[in-house]
Amino acid sequence: MSLSRAKSRKRQRMYIIGAVLLAVAGAAALALTAFEDSVVFFFSPSEIVEKSPIDPDQRLRIGGLVEEGTVTKLQDGKTIAFVVTDMAQSVTVAYSGILPDLFREGQGIVAEGHMNANGTFVASEVLAKHDENYMPPEVAESLKKSGYWEEIEAKNAKQMRN
Amino acid sequence: MLAEFGHFALLLILVAGFSQALLFSPLRLHAGRIVASLSFGTKTVTAVSGNSGNEALSDVHEPDTTPHSSALPTPFPNNLIALPLIILALGILSQAALIHAFVVSDFSLPIVADVSHSSTPLLFRVGAAFTPDGGAMLLWVLATALANIVFALQVFRRASNTPTTASSDSLFIANALSILGLVIAILALVTLIDADPFLRVAVAPLDGRGMSPQSQDVLRILREPVLYLGLAGLTVIFTVSIAGLLTHKIDRSFAETLRPWVIGAWLFLGLAIAINAYRSYSQQAWGNWWYWDTAENSLLIPWLLTTALVHCRAVLEKTDTLKSWTAFLGLSAFAVGWFGVYLTRSDLLGPLTETLSQSADSTALLVGFCLLFSAAYFLFWRQSDRMAEQKAFGFVSRESGMFLSSVTLSLIAAVILIGTIYPLVLRWVDGENITVGAPFYVEALLPVVLPLMFIMGFAPVLRWRQDELWLIGRRMKLAVMLSLIIVLFVSIRFIDLSPLPLIGIGLAGWILAAALSDLWARLWHQPDHGESKYRNLQLLGPRYISMTLAHIGLAILIAGGSASAVWEEQVVLSARAGQSIEVGPYNLQYEGVALLAGENYATRQATFILYHHSLPVAELFPEIRYYPIRGTETREADIFHGRDGDVHVSVGDRSEDGGRIVTVRFLPMMPWVWTGMILMLIGGSISILTRMFLRIRKNGVPAS
């Protein structure tokens, strides 16, 4: 009796371990195959300029500051073009639709979309879902890389005091 | 002054939580047994325990309970209720102190100055108390304290109903209460270390920085208490599972204890998800109800595990099998719940949630998580294999169907978890920034969701223990035919439809048809209970009704979600006053914009008149609100829920040519999504409410 119980216990443990392993392996396999072609990479304007031309089929995110005085409406009345910069390089972004609440000139934004043939970034989505004096971390990082972080930080601090 | 009381109360929660942990802890009970065997008698032990609980706290709150159960067979603190009640009172006190500070705008508390302003309306000043980290933590503590007292009442009732409680049973109760006390103490400690809401600064600012305009929304505020009530339910599930593991008592009565908690947690988490979805659909003019962002995923993952738990708990209660799997899910649901709170609170995951505006310190939350759950999983590892299953079940049986579905649900949860934390790991490892969005989740989840939905169709009609495949075929034939008809109809009617939404709609039809045909069979083909149809309806029982409602709700949700994504129509144009916009079967006339004053904002409110077949059906008022305190604008969409779809209107800036940019979207079958969610929630509530109702009416006799 005790032998068979020990045996069944062992077998049950095997089942559980097997099931857990199977589940984990399945989840990992599914996730990895899906990662291959559905992950969106983030680039700063410098990296875009460096890597151009970029395949127009590849979805990517771009982040930086909206350069002051560059937000314009195109002729069709609903497409908005603006320049996103990390102070070293800049890329023109075109977007049709309503811009998010916290979109301002001089603020950090992240846009998702693809590059077209003539070097304009066509955004399908513009994200600026953060606080008015909070920088998206990717943008902050790319600004730090391009070496203009302190300047922007000082400017923001000054604005906050006012 | 009141804030200091609140601070003190929070400290006392820490003390009281630890003393609850110690009072009911197995160690002390062992000591008590030794004392009892040394012929001091059980009375003295309980007296001492009662005193030590009250002594520390008597200066704040007088415990108004009189211990009225007689001494139990084992040395067991007979005032089960007193300490949880004190903790609850302290929790209410400190929460009230915080809300008071917000109501009177006491800006010497930095937490108030950060997210409130003297011009914020009263309702939102109260609500603002829940939005920052400290306030949310406090709410979590309060919700857990509430769950603590309800659990204590539940087990107390059971202990007093059955006077001859076995010693293992009372040990189980004591363990569970002890661990609950420990969790409360840890949460209170985390609150004090990470984000103490009651800190004061010497020089108060003249006024606050104002509430974040995006948070100034009733749904946003409502979400927080609901979310933390759900997490509190998970806490009880966790502690009961641990106690069951400790005392090797994972059996049918364990499942019985767990039942209201599992359904309750499922209900509250589901409600939080629904609120979140509707808010992102309506409030922020994004227009989508699901974004796969961290805040949403951190709700969805525990909800999925709780759903899995709902199913395998039912199996455990019915057949006394799947013991260690139930315990594992019980531990994991709370683990991912806690981890989700950590993920949304720490600013690890980029600009995804608005709660990230203050970069907060949440190290203690993570340390607490690691300590608690490594101990829990170590215990599980040591104990789980002692939980031998007594009975076997065949591969084709209800048990195996429900087991498979719960495994699949946890697999889905695991994939979502990987997708949520993978960008974090990658950034940490090689500094690359990636985003994991909807395409990833669709691709990764599809191979798991499809079989799950297939199982979901016929699992409810399987027999327990052992069933035959050909019998299932016979029972399912109506459902198969109906769902095939639906697929054929949709594919012929919309000939150029891509296969993906077709599969979604087809499977939704399959679940719906299966649920309905089973209901049909039970109501009209039951030869045994031929008295009346109403009698047959009664015989279904609340469990069956709630299960069917939830399944039908999910089917409707999936159908609505796939259909609205496919047949969505969007019009973006610059409109002038009087212009008519055609979208779907509707006609929308733009009437112009008025400048109005809100309570603490100015709003440009556009007016649209919605026509259906040239009959006016509704007026819609999308707005652009300007909040001067923070200097930010928010855009509020307005939505018309029609029978054939939602019309979603939002306005933007003035365009160059003098018109105003208007985005109009027609989402066919979108009301199905909300109906589906509501049906699922009603299903869950029926399961809980009928039980409570029957318990009251039949005076203690448990419902079916």
Shared-domain flag, residues B542 and B580:
no
Give the pLDDT of residue B331.
94
CB contact under 8 A, A73 and B418: no
Shared-domain flag, residues B583 and B545:
no
CB contact under 8 A, A96 and B389: no
Give the pLDDT of residue A128.
65
Burial (CB < 10 A; 0-12, 13-18, 19+), residue A113, is buried
Question: Based on C-alpha coordinates, what's the Rg of chain B?
Answer: 28
Q: B516 in a domain, yes or no?
A: yes
**What DSSP assignment string belongs to B187-239?**
HHHHHHHH--TT---SS--SS-----GGG-SHHHHHHHHHHHHHHHHHHHHHH
The mean pLDDT of B64-86, rounded to a whole number, is 57
Taking CA–CA distances from B325, the nearest residue in chain A reads A16
Shared-domain flag, residues B410 and B269:
yes
The 3-state secondary structure of B413-438 reads HHHHHHHHHHHHHHHHHHCCCEEECH
CB B183 within 8 A of CB B231: no
Which of these ranges, B159-168, B306-315, B368-377, B688-697, has the smallest mean pLDDT?
A: B159-168
Contacts of A110 in chain B (CB under 8 A): 351
- pLDDT by residue (tens digit) across B439-480? 888 888 888 888 898 888 888 888 887 777 887 888 888 888
More confident residue, B1 or B258: B258
Strands A60-66 and A39-43: parallel
Give the pLDDT of residue B42.
40
**Nearest chain A CA: its distance from B572 CA (Å):** 6
Which of these ranges, A95-99, A127-131, B210-214, B554-558, has the smallest mean pLDDT?
A: A127-131
Contacts of B415 in chain A (CB under 8 A): 27, 30-31
Taking CA–CA distances from B572, the nearest residue in chain A reads A97
Q: B136 in a domain, yes or no?
A: yes
| Cis amide prior to B671 (ω within 30 degrees) | no
Q: Is B657 on the interface with A (CB under 8 A)?
A: yes
CB contact under 8 A, B574 and A23: no
* Candidates A27, A38, A96; nearest CB to B440: A38
Give the pLDDT of residue A137.
65
Interface test with A, best of B443, B445, B573, B625 (most A CBs within 10 A): B443
**Nearest chain A CA: its distance from B354 CA (Å):** 6
Residue spans of the domains in chain A: they are 1-38, 41-161
Q: B702 in a domain, yes or no?
A: no
**Nearest chain B CA: its distance from A122 CA (Å):** 16
Give the pLDDT of residue A7.
61
Shared-domain flag, residues B482 and B349:
no
Shared-domain flag, residues B187 and B226:
no
Pick from B467, B497, B518: which residue ends a domain? B467
CB B83 within 8 A of CB B16: yes
Q: Is pLDDT at B58 greater than 70 in this prediction?
A: no
Spatial separation of the C-alpha atoms in residues B702 and B160, rounded to whole Å: 15
**Percent of chain B, pLDDT > 70?**
84
CB contact under 8 A, A41 and B440: no
Q: Which residues contact B683 (CB under 8 A, 6 or more apart)?
A: B545, B546, B547, B548, B549, B550, B553
Closest CA to A48 of A14, A93, A16: A93
Closest CA to B330 of B227, B417, B243: B243
- pLDDT by residue (tens digit) across B492-533? 887 777 777 888 888 899 999 998 888 888 877 665 555 566
Interface test with A, best of B416, B427, B435 (most A CBs within 10 A): B435
Task: Please report which confidence band the pLDDT of residue B647 belongs to, taking 50, 70 and 90 as the band edges.
Answer: very high
Contacts of A39 in chain B (CB under 8 A): 434-436, 440
Averaged over successive runs of 10 residues, the pLDDT of chain A (162 residues) comes to 57 70 80 76 83 78 84 78 86 82 76 84 76 60 71 64 50
Which of these ranges, B32-36, B136-140, B633-637, has the smallest mean pLDDT?
A: B32-36
Give the pLDDT of residue B78.
59
Which of these ranges, B85-94, B262-271, B310-319, B470-479, has the smallest mean pLDDT?
A: B470-479
Give the pLDDT of residue B362.
78
Q: Is B630 on the interface with A (CB under 8 A)?
A: yes
Give the pLDDT of residue B702.
47
More confident residue, B79 or B355: B79
Spatial separation of the C-alpha atoms in residues B481 and B588, rounded to whole Å: 41
Give the pLDDT of residue B699.
55
More confident residue, B28 or B679: B679
CB contact under 8 A, B357 and A130: yes
Spatial separation of the C-alpha atoms in residues B394 and B92, rounded to whole Å: 51
In sequence order, the β-bridge partners of residue B586 are: B583, B612
First-last CA distance in chain B: 52
Give chain B's domain count.
4
Residue written as token pair 């000043």:
B125
CA B28 to chain centroid, in Å, comes to: 35
Task: Please report which confidence band the pLDDT of residue B144 belongs to, taking 50, 70 and 90 as the band edges.
Answer: very high
Taking CA–CA distances from B423, the nearest residue in chain A reads A39
Residue positions forming the annotated binding site of A = 130, 134
- pLDDT by residue (tens digit) across B219-251? 889 999 999 999 999 999 999 999 999 888 888
First-last CA distance in chain A: 82
Shared-domain flag, residues B327 and B191:
no
- pLDDT by residue (tens digit) across B173-204? 888 999 999 999 999 999 998 888 898 888 88
CB contact under 8 A, A78 and B350: no
Give the pLDDT of residue B126.
92
Spatial separation of the C-alpha atoms in residues B197 and B133, rounded to whole Å: 8
Task: Please report which confidence band the pLDDT of residue B66 belongs to, taking 50, 70 and 90 as the band edges.
Answer: very low
Give the pLDDT of residue B206.
86
Q: B338 in a domain, yes or no?
A: yes
**Nearest chain B CA: its distance from A123 CA (Å):** 15
Q: Is pLDDT at B359 greater than 70 in this prediction?
A: no
Interface test with A, best of B407, B433, B572 (most A CBs within 10 A): B433
Spatial separation of the C-alpha atoms in residues B573 and B80, rounded to whole Å: 65
Burial (CB < 10 A; 0-12, 13-18, 19+), residue B105, is middle
Shared-domain flag, residues B622 and B686:
no
Contacts of B663 in chain A (CB under 8 A): 97-98
Q: Is pLDDT at B54 greater than 50 in this prediction?
A: no
CB contact under 8 A, A131 and B357: yes
Q: Is B225 on the interface with A (CB under 8 A)?
A: no
Give the pLDDT of residue B230.
96
Q: Is pLDDT at B158 greater than 70 in this prediction?
A: yes
Q: B703 in a domain, yes or no?
A: no
Shared-domain flag, residues B82 and B206:
yes
- pLDDT by residue (tens digit) across B560-613? 988 888 888 888 888 888 899 998 889 999 998 999 998 889 999 999 999 998
Closest CA to B52 of B19, B80, B79: B19
Mean pLDDT value across chain B: 82
Classify domain A41-161 at the CATH superfamily level.
Answer: Nucleic acid-binding proteins (2.40.50.140)
**Nearest chain A CA: its distance from B435 CA (Å):** 5
CB contact under 8 A, B385 and A9: yes
Shared-domain flag, residues B207 and B288:
no
Shared-domain flag, residues B275 and B418:
yes
Shared-domain flag, residues B162 and B244:
no
Shared-domain flag, residues B17 and B35:
yes
Give the pLDDT of residue B663.
86
**Nearest chain A CA: its distance from B321 CA (Å):** 12
Q: Could you report the predicted ipTM of this complex, rounded to two decimals? A: 0.72
Q: Is pLDDT at B214 greater than 90 in this prediction?
A: no
Contacts of B635 in chain A (CB under 8 A): 98, 101
Pick from B414, B446, B467: which residue ends a domain? B467
Give the pLDDT of residue B164.
56
Pick from B162, B195, B215: which residue ends a domain? B215
**Nearest chain B CA: its distance from A61 CA (Å):** 8
Task: Please report which confidence band the pLDDT of residue B556 belongs to, taking 50, 70 and 90 as the band edges.
Answer: very high
Q: Is B447 on the interface with A (CB under 8 A)?
A: yes
> At how many degrees (to 10) do helices B2-23 and B42-55 cross?
160
Angle at B443 between CA B439 and CA B447, to 5 degrees: 160
Domain that holds residue B473: 468-567+673-697
